[in-house]
Amino acid sequence: MFQPYTSAFALGTSQLVAYPGDRAIIDFADFDALTARFGRSYPLIFKISNNYVCVYPEDGVPSGVLAVPNKLMEELEIGSDVDFLVYLAYPHTVQRIIEWGLACPNHPERET
């Protein structure tokens, strides 16, 4: 469950699970619920530790789980299958993070 935290982020916990994919993913229903509550954004951006992570909806992810690529999980230096405190960027913050090049390297709105 996420709650408003600052003017830029909501705060909540997600179960972080490592998986062999190439991008972070959450359940479609969770994605829709977060965007309905905090504003439409594609992708979502979560701040985990000191890393901004682009998160996309996908089928087959259990509700409440944030599936993180194995490589990123190793970089974060946290265990898998743990409940972890994460920040959800509001849409206006997502836009800035992408423009500044802090996340989503292939996003079309990223400044070069």
pLDDT of residue 111: 57
Residue 1 per-residue DSSP state: -
Residue 88's identity, in one-letter code, is L
104: in domain? no
Domain of 39, CATH number, reads: 2.40.40.20
Q: Which domain holds residue 10?
A: 2-99
Q: Evaluate whether residue 108 is within a structural domain.
A: no
* Rounded percentage of the chain residues whose pLDDT exceeds 70: 96
pLDDT digits 0-9 by tens, 35-80: 999 999 999 999 998 899 999 999 999 999 999 999 988 888 887 7
Task: Confirm whether 111 is domain-assigned.
Answer: no
Q: Which two tokens stand for residue 13?
A: 């916990």
Structure tokens belonging to residue 82 = 């743990």
How many domains are contained in the chain?
Answer: 1
